[in-house]
Chain A
């Protein structure tokens, strides 16, 4: 009894002292002993003073310290890919983390839209989580909200992506919602029609953003079909895509062999067995034949306005140079970083080739970087500049001259090493987050049918020689280019003028 009194008095003493020191929240109505009254600077009694390894876990909980995330190099280790009987590919990586990310990639992006279907994949994205498979829109939102999770959808030129992110333990619900959205959406007419004003808002926002609008115009001008379709709804088709159009599109393109399910932070066997039943009604295929995408060079679009800046981009088709398209992608990546992709130090200027060339040519603020778009069967490579109007022409000339000197072999070893390090860092930093890790896994699986660990990819990057880069650079402007300029175009040259001063061979 004496020891009990003593410990109580000690606790009281410490309470009094802490209150005097102002370290207890004076306004809290809860008793000081309750967890809800302990300031966040103080450890809770449950955790107080315990050594990390001897901390007592809650009842019945086993701690898997051997499969700790720190023991596993996420970027190096990946072998969990299963193909279901209907062609759906299921891939997962168990990170034993407290959060799970489930993503479904369907190869049904804007490149597969016909003329009258333009904007359909954009609408598909907006309608992603409406009523599906017996669950009303209301129920989808409320159920996911009830577990604190989040749903998101995205559309690119090649894919439509449905994603759910939540804390571990709720994968059943997430997979159910995602699979029903892909397999059996209700596509109610009135709900689809309600989306038109929302589409219009997004289209307007993107029209005002120069980078986004230039990218869309560039693709629309460079490609005759397929990849030329915008990821946003063109104005003429706003409101003209109906629920039955969506259904026809999904019937055509949402087949097993075009669907990939990627799970991060989930158990593979459980995911596969649940996916077997959730995706069972998906037909295996084949889907319709995909159109070959045709690049048509020589196109030029000028969008003048009274803005204070000029934004311009010039690109050309990326020809296949190496034995494998993977190698081409790596070469393009290294060349892109060699030319310049923006500064790595805040408020700084980049020591990249383009920025050096630009600062020697003009004395007003500017930005210049290399563009590199990679698709499954095609690619674009070129440059993007932002400049004050009076110097736009000089800047573009400087950029093209710099590139032609690179194509003639003017590449130092230091430049090459820097570019390789930046590309490797971009790949490795990209897989730190679950969403971009999912994206890179899905991209590899849909492209190559296989996943290459990043260590192998980085070794390939290291093995790239200067000659390979120069060869690649020579091939870039071999076909006719495409040029898009927007903003104040008072001193922006035509593409012909731009190219005639520059020899690219």
Chain B
């Protein structure tokens, strides 16, 4: 009797507990649904990216997010990958020369015009893209587009300026040599894509920098700066119709040809290189396998796998509590010396048809063996025994990092330009959200297994 009463009592308590928990669950579920709805709403709230293709093939894409400032730029589908050994470095040289004066504006006039507007003019060259962009007041959009059109269509490429720029570029090379991360990634590319155009550096070898002349530069512009390969992107307080009108006025003279042979695939070679320098305080390590191209749908599982590995930095207070298993193993195994690994980050560098997926680490020279062991264990674990919870966490981390980047007109403009070149369209945010959400645990493991 007593025991049955106790059983009954226990059951009653259990039920009360369950119903309390159930109420709590429903309440938090309701709050979660409200929060999720407001997040979904906010994704749909983003203004659309409007795209217009001009008659000559130039694509004009913009997002009007309002505001008194804007960023507008030219994203050009050409970079060091399109160079040969003879002219390697010409794309970057051209980036320098573009700001040295045009038929309509001398260098001094160009700088004065930009500064008078309170604007900024900037550029960068990568292996597959060259970008020139300007930040200005929204009311100065016309002037900014005019300047951009002028510098890529009418650069003077004066002999004196070309000579003067040689020493500037050589000095830039010296500075880049001091940045170990840049050097390591250049070496990584030269190994992974040895013998192919992707293996070349962006700045080019010293011999080429000393040799490049006006003919190299003008033939590069003539063959690569053609309308079908250029995207005029803008974000901030920009009106798309106004931008299209400006583009038609300023860029109608661009050549419309696209008669280069299509990109040769760049074969990936596994190999290893060590550069020993005992005077350096740390060892820097970059470890990569072949990933996938930009448009390959496996890009998302690879990024999620990278988020599972994560980033680690010794200087962050409490960094040993990070969810990344690799970080935990490193901190756990470092034992009495917690300063073995200074930092690591996972990267996924993509090109049109190939990519590099891996980890870059800065560590003590005595812990290289341990780190490589831990890394390979982690890669193996990703293939066979990663958990659903980790994949879900990594999905959120990846989504947040993608979306948080879209802060400010420059970041949004860069996103528009890059996506137009790599995907041919701007993927709407709800679609990105959806694609990340449906990535499954199996998709990620299978992808890593196949590539590693």
Contact = CB atoms under 8 A, between A and B. Distances in A.
Interface stretch (B60-68, B186-194, B222-230): B60-68
Contacts of A99: 400, 403-404, 406-407
A426 B115 CA distance: 12
A31 to B, nearest CB: 12
A167 B399 contact: yes
A99 B46 CA distance: 11
Chain B interface size range: 35 or more
Interface stretch (B204-212, B247-255, B315-323, B363-371): B315-323
Interface in A60-86: 60-65, 67-75
Nearest to A25: B296
A127 interface: yes
A346 B121 contact: yes
A505 to B, nearest CB: 30
Contacts of B323: 141-142, 145-146
B297 A40 contact: yes
B40 A57 contact: yes
Contacts of B42: 96-98, 168
Interface stretch (B73-81, B177-185, B271-279, B427-435): B427-435
Given A61-B44, A130-B317, A421-B116, A165 B66 contact: no
A356 to B, nearest CB: 11
Interface in A304-358: 343-352
Interface in B90-143: 96, 99-100, 107-108, 110-112, 114-123, 135-137
Given A36-B300, A40-B295, A422-B118, A145 B137 contact: no
Interface string B387-407: 000000100111111011011
Interface string A417-435: 1100111111011001111
B111 A345 contact: yes
B9 interface: no
A169 B428 contact: no
A372 B105 CA distance: 33
Interface string B402-443: 011011111000000000001111011111001100111001
| Residue among A97, A169, A202, A429 with max Cβ neighbours from chain B (10 Å) | A429
Interface stretch (A41-49, A251-259, A487-495): A41-49
B135 A68 contact: no
A210 to B, nearest CB: 14
Contacts of B41: 61-64, 96
B46 A345 contact: no
B159 to A, nearest CB: 18
B220 interface: no
Interface stretch (B10-18, B30-38, B373-381): B30-38
B298 interface: yes
B299 to A, nearest CB: 6
Nearest to B405: A99
A433 B400 contact: no
Given A27-B298, A343-B111, A428-B67, 10 more contacts: A36-B439, A41-B425, A98-B403, A129-B317, A129-B318, A140-B318, A140-B321, A344-B115, A351-B115, A432-B69
List 8 A-B pairs, minimum CB-CB distance, nearest first: A421-B118, A169-B35, A148-B396, A425-B118, A148-B400, A432-B408, A70-B66, A141-B321
28 contacts: A38-B297, A39-B295, A40-B295, A40-B422, A40-B427, A46-B431, A47-B430, A64-B41, A69-B66, A70-B66, A97-B42, A97-B46, A98-B39, A127-B317, A140-B318, A141-B318, A145-B322, A148-B393, A169-B35, A346-B99, A348-B121, A421-B118, A429-B69, A432-B67, A432-B69, A432-B236, A432-B409, A434-B407
Interface of B: 31, 35-48, 64-69, 96, 99-100, 107-108, 110-112, 114-123, 135-137, 168, 236, 292, 294-301, 314-318, 321-323, 339, 393, 396-401, 403-404, 406-410, 422-425, 427-431, 434-435, 438-440, 443, 446, 450
